[in-house]
A and B are shown apart, each in its own frame.
Chain A
Amino acid sequence: MAALTLETLDIINPDLYVQRGYPYEEWALLRKEAPVFRYVRPGVEPFWAITKHADLVNVSRQPDLFKSSQFLFVTQDEPGSPLPDEAVLRQLLNMNPPEHGEYRRAVNQRFTPRAVQQLKEQIERITTEVLDDLVGREECDFVTEVSAKLPLAVIAEMFGIPRADWAMMFRLSNAMIGPADPEYGGSATIKENLERARMEFFQYFNQLCEDRRKNPRDDLASALANGKVYGEPLPPFELLSYFALLIIAGNETTRNATTGGLHALISHPAQWERLKRDPSLAPKAAEEIVRWTSPVIQFTRIATADAVLGGQQLHEGDVLALFYPSAARDEDVFEEPSAFDIGRYPNPHVSFGIGEHFCLGANLARLELQVMFRQLAERMEFVELAGPTRRMRSSFVGGIKHMPIRYRIRARP
């Protein structure tokens, strides 16, 4: 195998993420030798790779100097990529202050630690039912049978989407976040997949909003349908973009953290035993699982002026890509960063981001993971991999698509 060098390392090719998982060695080399690295490769828009925790925080804290844009993440040239502007939509991820705050405040009171605690009973119930379905069987695909079900159900409940429509939401969400992956995207080109998914999405939510304007309820759909920015209702495109964002963001990432979390526990049996002996460790375990899995691989920023960062001269218009899983293993921040330790505390990862765009759903994701892993610790007596895992073809959001397991789950206590 060729030695790893700065000139040849690859952290963008989505096929590498399928074959090898996250490029931890590459990021470690960058953190050590070129923490603000000018990445130039054929077929990739040149960008500055930001791999250290401190730099990622520094950039994230300055949304005026390093702004968000339609160019959400770095990709390599493929037919149908990068995502066309209209596919990226107009939502929180590509807005900047002060507009970003206006939009965020339309719903953020529903995502505070206090607000999500009100969903705890529902989350417990959904989790219990998901695990009940596994009782008496010996093998399953943990992704499709468990990980995918909880976040989808929770966000759908928050919105007020009827159960009959959940399967469609799942399908469309997959098509919109992973269009480069043939299994999720469908058989047409990436661009066509996206357009089709988008249209179906918008049709459905247009109808839902019209209903919630006539008959408002205490749900997220009503909050958005009747919400105001700058004193006015949300414009149609931004309104529908908001729905897409909240569904996609809440669905994929939590699913990937859940799967990756169980995978980590299977791979670290001492930690699994530790959690089973003491399920009250679930909150710390959930945090370590977020750090360990870091489902969001990168987001970009664009410099709005010349700036010096990590001793490098950046120019106005330069693209920066922030690599969250790399910051999550920064040797300057974490003791033994490559150790999976469910009792790790403090755990100052930035895998939910930090600052203006800090993950709106972080508290919800944490609660879902805490409940899921506590219940797994209480009910899953035995688990092992039953076959190879398959990973998503993406260098934007990473995760395991299929994880066959052999297991035994206790009937409800």
Chain B
Amino acid sequence: MRVVVDHNLCEGNGRCAEVAPQVFELRDDDRSYVLVESPPQDLRAKIQLATTLCPRQAIRLIED
């Protein structure tokens, strides 16, 4: 699976970085950056939670 953050939607709310800091990092430009583009399966639940919680719905989880 791949994780993508849409920087047109992302506004730096940081929910993703709270629930999955291994995958998302909030930087000074107020955008969330994906640290591991193809994360291991054991992070799936956390990534799905981040996807649901993002107020702007800026995260997509893409199945290969």
Contact = CB atoms under 8 A, between A and B. Distances in A.
Interface string B1-32: 00000001101111000000000000000100
Interface residues of B, number: 12
A189 B18 CA distance: 50
A140 interface: no
B9 A356 contact: yes
Given A112-B13, A113-B13, A355 B30 contact: no
Contacts of A362: 55
Query: Which bracket fits the contact residues of A?
Result: 10 to 19
Interface in A103-123: 108-109, 111-115
B11 A112 contact: yes
Nearest to B52: A348
Interface string B34-59: 00000000000000000011011100
A61 interface: yes
A355 B30 CA distance: 17
A101 B12 contact: no
A108 B55 contact: no
B56 A363 contact: no
Contact of A348 (B8, B14, B53): B53
Given A101-B8, A363-B13, A109 B57 contact: no
A112 B12 contact: yes
Interface string A269-291: 00000000000000000000000
Interface in A266-313: none
Interface string A82-102: 000000000000000010010
A113 B55 contact: no
A161 to B, nearest CB: 25
A363 B56 CA distance: 13
Nearest to A62: B57
Contacts of B56: 354-356, 358
Contact of B57 (A108, A348, A355, A363): A355
A184 interface: no
A352 interface: yes
Nearest to B28: A114
Residue of B52, B53, B56 most packed against chain A (CB within 10 A): B56
B57 A61 contact: yes
Contacts of A352: 55
A114 B12 contact: yes
B6 to A, nearest CB: 10
Contacts of A355: 55-57
> Which of B8, B11, B13, B52 gathers most chain A CB within 10 Å?
B11
Interface of A: 60-61, 98, 101, 108-109, 111-115, 348, 352, 354-356, 358, 362-363
Interface of B: 8-9, 11-14, 30, 52-53, 55-57
Given A98-B8, A358-B57, 14 more contacts: A60-B57, A61-B57, A101-B8, A109-B30, A111-B11, A112-B13, A113-B13, A348-B52, A352-B55, A354-B55, A355-B55, A356-B57, A362-B55, A363-B13
8 contacts: A101-B9, A108-B11, A113-B12, A113-B13, A113-B14, A114-B12, A352-B55, A363-B13
